Structure 1
Amino acid sequence: MTTSPPDALPDTEHERLARSGFLRPYILLARLDRPIGWWLLFWPCAWGVALAGGAFARFDLILYMLLGAVAMRGAGCVYNDIVDRDLDAQVERTRGRPLASGAVSLKAAWAWLLILCAIGFIVLLQLPLLAAEVALVSLVFVAAYPFMKRITWWPQAWLGIVFSWGALVGWAAVARELSLPMALLYLGTISWVIGYDTIYALQDREDDALIGIRSSALRLGRYVRLGVAGFYLLALILWSWAIWLIRPEPLAFVALAPAALQLGWQVATLRPDDGADALYKFRSNRFAGLLVFLACATVGTGAS
C-alpha cells in the first residue's frame, strides 16, 4: 500500500486543496464541511439541558452549546489528525486529509487548533461555574482519545466517554447539581456512541486490520450487527430509566418510542460489508439525536 496518492495521478487531493484557496484546507482539517460530527457532539448537550427542564427556558444556552460543539469538534479533529497524520497517510479513506497529504503544515495545524480552542473558551465563560468545571474535566479524556485505537479494541468506548460529556455539562448548567438521572443519561449516551461509531468503523475494517488499528467493528467480527443492537438497547434502557426518575409515568417510555424505532431500523437494515450503507446509517444518527431531544424536552418541560 502506498503512503500517498500515486504521483501518476494528474489531480491528487493535495493539488486540489492547493488550488481551492487558503481557507479550504483548514475547513477540511476541522471537518467544518461535515456537520454530522458536531451534530453528534451537540445532541447530548441539548439532551442534558432539556431533561433538566431548560429546553425552552434556556434556549440561549442551547445555542451557546451548539457553537461550542462546532468549535470543539473541529478542535478535536485537528488534534486527532496531528496525532494520526502518519497513520492517516496509510489508509485509503484518510490519506487525502490536509495534514496527511501535506496541504497544511504541522505548525499551521497547531495554530488553527488554538484558534478553535479559544472559541470554545468563550463558550465556557457563558456557563455556570459547576458546568464549566465539568466541561474542563473532559479535556483529559479528549487528549487521550487518539491513542486509544493503538492500545484497545474498544476506542469507540473512549469516544463515547468524550462525545457524551455534553450531557453532563448541559444538565449541570440548568440543574446546578449532579444527580442520578444525569449519570444515567450520560451512560446511555456512551452506549449509543459505541453503537454508531462501530457502524462508522465498518468502512475501514480492511485498512485497519492491515496497519494494526483496533476497533470494535473488528473485535465484533461477524457479530457486529448483534453488538450494535445490544449497545442501542442498553442506551434505550438507561435513557428510559433517567426519564422515569424525572417523570415516573408511561410517558417515559412512549417519548422514546420514535428514537427506538429509528435505532431499530439502523440495525435491521445494516449491511456490514457495504461501506456506503454504513456511512448512511451512521449519519442517520443526527435524526436519532433529534428524536431523543424531543423526548427529553417533553419530559423535562412537563416535570419542571
Structure 2
Amino acid sequence: MAAPIVPDTEHGGTVARLSPLTRDLAQLARLDRPIGAWLLFWPGAWATALAGRAVARWDLILWFALGAIAMRGAGCVYNDIVDRDLDARVARTRERPLASGRVSLKTAWAFLMGLSLIGLVVLLQLPGLAQGIALVSLGLVAAYPFMKRITWWPQAWLGLVFSWAALVGWPAATGHTAPALWWLYAGSVLWVIGYDTIYALQDVEDDALAGVKSSARALGSHAKGGVALLYAGAVLLWGCALWRVRPDPLALAALLPVAAHLGWQVLGLHPDAPADALRRFRANRFAGLLMFLACLAVGSASH
C-alpha cells in the first residue's frame, strides 16, 4: 500500500477560523506552514550572532524575522503563480489556492505586491552595503520556480536563495564582510540542499509523472546517503566559519549539538514515507536554532 501523501495546506487551528478568502491568502503565503519562514530567517540570525552583534543588534534580528515572513510569503505566492498548472497535477499541491482555482491570478498578484512592500520596509532599515547585497538576490528568487524544469538540482538554486540572508546579516550588523561569512554561507547552501531533498522525497512519484526534476529523483535510491554527505559538508564548512572567528577547538565543539541533530535526521530517514520526510524536514527549524546558539557562543566569546 502506498504511503499517504501529506497535503500542502493546513485546514486546522487558527487558519480554519479565518474567512474563506483570508484563509486562502494565508495558505497562498504558507502562513499555515511557518517552517519556511524559520528556514529563511536562520542564516541571517547566524551571521549576526557570529559577527558578535546578536545582543547589540537584537533589533536587526527582529527585522530579519519580519522580512523572512514577508519575503517567504511573497516567494511562495510567486512560485504558485508560475507553477499553478504543475501544482494541479501533483497530489500534495493540487489543493493550493491558485491550483484549485479558489484564488484568482489577479488577487494573487495584488497579494504579492503587498507582501513585497513589507519586504521593502525591512530593506530600508539596512545600511547601504547590506541593501545592495539583498537586492542582488531578487534575480535568483525570480528564476527559482523555473529551475525544476531546467535542472535536476533545483534544490541547489534554492540553497543559494534561502541562504542569502547570511550574506546580508553580517554587513548589516558590522558594515563590512569577512572571510567567515563565505564559509557560513557555503555551509548553509549545503544544508538547504539537504533538507529540501528530504522535502522532495514526498513528491518523487508525482514529480516523475509531471516531468518535474528534483534532487530526490536524481539521487534515487541513494537519497539518504546524498543527504548525509550534504549535511556532513555543511557541518565542515560551518566549522571553517567558526574557526575563522575563533581558532579554538572549543569553537568547533559548539557545533556538536547541530551535527548530532542532523545525524538523527539522516539515520532515521525513511525515503518511502512522506509523513516521515515531512517531519524530519520540519525538524530543521530546531537545527537552525542549534546553529544559532553555536554562532552566538563563538561570536560572543570573540568580541
Which bracket does the TM-score occupy, shorter chain normalised? over 0.9
1:228 counterpart residue number:
227
TM-score scaled to structure 1, two decimals?
A: 0.93
1:151-185 deviations in Å (ceiling 9; x for gaps):
10000000000000000111111121122110110
1:156 aligns with 2:135: no
Unaligned stretches of 5+ residues in structure 1: 1-12
Partner of 1:247: 246
Counterpart position of 2:282: 283
Which residue in the other structure is 1:172 paired with?
Answer: 171
> How do 1:66-215 residues align onto structure 2 when only pairs under 5 Å count?
66-215=65-214
After superposition, give the CA deviation of every residue in 1:54-113 in whole Å (9 maximum; x if it has no partner).
111110000000000000000000000000000000001100000001111001100000
Q: Which residue type is aligned with residue 274 of structure 1?
A: A
**SS of equivalent residue, structure 1 residue 181:** helix
Residue identity in the other structure for 2:70: A
TM-score by length of 2: 0.94
3-state SS in 2 of match to 1:93:
coil
SS in 2 for 1:24: helix
2:216 aligns with: 217
1:20 to partner: Cα distance: 4.2
1:25 and 2:24 correspond: yes
State percent identity of aligned pairs.
65
| Aligned equivalents of 1:172, 1:148: Cα separation in 2 | 29
Q: Which amino acid aligns with 2:149?
A: R
RMSD: 1.3
The answer for the alignment partner of 1:49 in structure 2 is 48
- Note the residue ranges of structure 2 that are not aligned, 5 or more in a row: 1-10
Q: Which amino acid aligns with 2:32?
A: D
The residue aligned with 2:62 is 63
The residue that corresponds to 2:8 in the other structure is none
Q: Which amino acid aligns with 2:21?
A: F
SS in 1 for 2:99: helix
In structure 1, what is the equivalent of residue 3 of structure 2? none
Distance across 1 between alignment mates of 2:183 and 2:48: 14
Following the alignment from structure 1 to structure 2, what is the Cα–Cα distance between the partners of residues 77 and 169? Answer: 21
Give the whole-Å Cα distance in 2 for the aligned partners of 1:60 and 1:81: 32
Q: Partners of 1:251 and 1:236 in 2: how far apart?
A: 15
User: What is the CA deviation profile of residues 33-67 of structure 1, one whole-angstrom value per residue up to 9, with x for unaligned ones?
Assistant: 11100000000010011111111111000000000
Q: Which aligned runs of 4 or more in structure 1 are off by greater than 3 angstroms?
A: none
Q: Which amino acid aligns with 2:142?
A: A
SS in 1 for 2:20: coil
Deviation readout 1:122-153 (Å, 9 max, x if unpaired):
00010111111110000010000000000100
Q: Distance in 1 between matches of 2:148 and 2:268?
A: 27
- How far is the alpha carbon of 1:22 from its aligned partner? 2.6
Report the counterpart of residue 6 of structure 1 in structure 2: none
Deviations 1:247-274 (A, max 9, x none): 0111221101000000000000000000
Partner Cα separation in structure 1 for residue 174 and residue 186 of structure 2: 18
* Greater alpha carbon shift after TM alignment, 250-259 vs 185-194: 250-259
- Cα distance in 2 for residues equivalent to 1:178 and 1:214: 35
Report the secondary structure of 1:214's partner residue. Answer: coil
